[in-house]
A and B are shown apart, each in its own frame.
Chain A
């Protein structure tokens, strides 16, 4: 158990809908990262937050957005869902400093868009 929690574990929804994925980082970790894992694209970085502020953006679609709250939990919002958005979504967290590259992953949310 990495100490990172994600809810829900599974999500099944229809095209055009909007969903929210939630992540709680390990105790004391200030950075939260979101990744998407699909069969064709592998594991890809979406966005990073550090202590409530956006730190870096990867290949995140405009239909996707995220935020990190004062209690450090984070939410990833996916809207106008398409079939191609079906994937595993992982959250990872890390501490600040030289070891910040060490990221610990949650169990993921499996999103199925029908």
Chain B
């Protein structure tokens, strides 16, 4: 079993829709939670970063972490065709080593 599970999709939505992307994780040591966006063959771009449980909002993006259920979510409001990309969740433990463990990524297409 992978430490971070993510539905690979693909997910296709119409422009303006609310998108919900989700991951689950198994390691209770994970304290930091991130969402990255990756366009084809490009480097992952950090979208959202949260520590422990709670919500964080940045423009059209909202990240949620529920440590009790080990569930991570990213919501995209008013989705745009430019949001079409692969979205990767990532987690990291506390401590001096902060290597990221990634989900497999969800491929999102927003149709105009």
Contact = CB atoms under 8 A, between A and B. Distances in A.
Chain A, interface size category, equals 20 to 34
Contacts, number: 65
Chain B, interface size category, equals 20 to 34
Interface stretch (A64-72, A77-85, A105-113): A105-113
A37 B76 CA distance: 25
Nearest to A90: B43
B73 interface: no
B104 interface: yes
Contacts of B51: 98, 101
B60 interface: no
B99 A48 contact: yes
B99 A90 contact: no
B105 A42 contact: yes
Given A43-B88, A94-B98, A105 B105 contact: no
A18 interface: no
A2 B45 contact: yes
Contact of B49 (A44, A55, A101): A101
A16 interface: no
B41 A110 contact: yes
A86 to B, nearest CB: 14
Interface of B: 32, 34, 36, 41-46, 49, 51, 88, 92, 96-105
Interface of A: 2, 4, 31, 33, 35, 42-45, 48, 50, 55-56, 58, 88, 90, 92, 94, 98-108, 110
